[in-house]
A and B are shown apart, each in its own frame.
Chain A
Amino acid sequence: MAKVFNWQLGREMDYPYEGTRPRRQFAMVFDTNKCIACQTCTVACKTTWTPGRGQEYMYWNNVETKPYGYYPLGWDVNILEKLGVQDQSKPVYAGKTLFEAAPPGEPVLGYLPDDADYANPNVGEDDSTGLMPQGAYLTMPHMQWMFYLARICNHCTYAACLGSCPRQVIYKRPEDGIVLIDQTRCRGYRECVKGCPYKKVYFNPITRVSEKCIGCYPAVEGGRQSQCTVTCIGKIRLNGFITTPDRADEHNPMDYLVHVAKVALPLYPQFGLEPNVYYIPPIHVPPPYLIQMFGHGVPQAIETYKRARDDKRLLGALMLFGSTPEILHRFRVIGDHAIGYDEKGGEVVRVPLTEPFQIRAFFDEARKVYRHNVT
């Protein structure tokens, strides 16, 4: 295996191919604190890309409840158990990645789910960790908790699906880092389904080949954000391009959130794939669980996020979520507004840092009635 540098782990690691980065990398930031699991993203993706035969239970985008929701069943706890407990306490990862833990004769440590594991996409939905006793009240972090984890393909820098395919049918586009399966050459071996720890490659039993999230590349090529992003009614998502930390541009909203403010973290970075969907962790969930899921940066990310109201730049970046269908390449905060720019530097959106609101009097003098809703 070749040695590649994984910035999320702060060290080199083994990978089946030489480390060649795309010219730019498709990325998403999801704010888990804002997600209400309405599944509008799921439906938008489903109706756009997977309404066909053999795709009935295929959700390239899904939203699951943590800790007891999984699609497919047990996807993360299964691979975490196989990998074993690893040391994630330091910026330089001291444990093993899935590539480094690969058994002899295998490209990566993985497993093939059972077909039935996909049968209940909403298993564990809204299940909390436990019951609150009579008279108890929540403190931070919550003693009983759950949160929603929206998931798409991570379009990993070191994709395990790509590394698992013995035919090199899976490729990472140099122009945007989107990971695709060549539908004309795939032979349905399911090595990618086995290799992807996020289980974001799916097998279509009607076409007999594997399929996966395509990062809405026709939209991205046209400068637009993905379907799951633009349809998100909670405005939890931002889709754009990210660079490596050594080349981070603080004016790029993705770079700013991930590399500068460090509020958005990769999902299970210890797997070693350098995934490119970044999560703002839920502030109410006990850190040990979150550190296993998002890495050592969780406590700092939560502290920074909680102070967003006092940080105009961070607040501005967050307010740009769901503000426009265009991909924002740069942003600025001027006065009380955040402004987003397209690739050519043209302004595409301007949003206030604080939504304007007006409080009306409780009693309406003109009509001599009390108002129930005063905002």
Chain B
Amino acid sequence: MTHAMRWCWRGAGTALWLLLLWGAALGQSPAPAVRVTWTGPIVDPDSLVWTRAPAVTVPLTPQVITVPHKPDPAIKELTVKVVHNGGWIAFLMEWKDPTKSDTIMLDSFGDQVAVQLPISKGAAPSPMMGNPGGRVNIMQWRAAFQHDLEKGPPTIKDLYPYAWVDLYPDEILGVADARPYAGALGLENPISRGVATPVLDQMAEGWGSMTAKPDQHALGKGVWRDGVWRVVITRPMVSDDPNAPVLLPGEQTVMAFAAWEGGNREVGARKSWSAWVPLLIQK
């Protein structure tokens, strides 16, 4: 197959996949977001509120639409529960992962999971991170951020126990003056650290457009136990953020998921993802 032919084939394949995944939501009975009695954000995966919600199995497919592909992702499905208390909606995702990956180094990738919601009412945008004009809210939990929050951000000694360094610029200049030497941290790149929450509140309108929002509203927590990740992502149902969904009891919307197994070198586009899943927010 010539290169040009391969690209044409990819184009045709993309259209086919889009049809399949976009249309997958049609005809499914919606998963319920069960109303629970709980005050404030629901962040604990071990909370008893989760016994109130039915488990829905969400199949994930390999990301082989946009370059780079991941034809062999490790996570094939998520078990999902959704609850709300009128103020916060919370998603619990569970999946098997034999290795806990929460360290980020050149050849070490972190476990992650994300929930996607359309921002506007009406026809759903592309389930694959939205499309131009069709914005989505993507809340992504990162195992590395969970580690940052629970055990502190890693030092070079944590990552490389035998490292020896004589002096860093911030030890002479002070943190503020040493910011130019701190790279993305000095610029407060939101993916450099888990600050206050292990979940990034983001929006996108197509591949490559993912942007962390200036106001972070999503919270969550992940627990890895006995080869299983149990992760909660929660957000306010209504906010003053124009790039956040407005989720009202009694309404139906859609949700989609993506997951990354760090141990399988999954990162960015190299992931598995779901189609839209209908979601009914119970009154």
Q: Which residues of A contact B (CB under 8 A)?
A: 1, 14, 51-56, 100, 104-107, 112-115, 118, 164, 166-168, 183-191, 193, 203-209, 211
Contact = CB atoms under 8 A, between A and B. Distances in A.
A52 B168 contact: yes
A52 B207 contact: no
Interface residues of B, number: 47
Nearest to A164: B68
A105 B69 contact: yes
Nearest to A112: B107
A295 to B, nearest CB: 23
Contacts of A166: 66-68, 207-208, 268-269
Given A166-B68, A188-B104, A209-B192, A51 B184 contact: no
A205 B191 contact: no
**Residue of B156, B192, B207 most packed against chain A (CB within 10 A):** B192
Contact of A167 (B159, B163, B210): B210
Contacts, number: 124
Contacts of B59: none
Given A115-B108, A186-B189, A205 B3 contact: no
Interface in B169-223: 169-170, 178, 181-185, 187, 189, 191-193, 207-210
A362 B133 CA distance: 85
Interface in B132-188: 144, 154-156, 159-160, 163, 165, 167-170, 178, 181-185, 187
Contact of A206 (B6, B154, B169): B154
B145 to A, nearest CB: 10
A51 B64 CA distance: 39
A190 B267 contact: yes
Contacts of B185: 53, 206-207
Contact of A208 (B3, B156, B184): B184
Given A166-B66, A183-B187, A115 B105 contact: yes
Interface string B65-86: 0111101000000000000000
A187 B106 contact: no
B3 A1 contact: yes
B17 interface: no
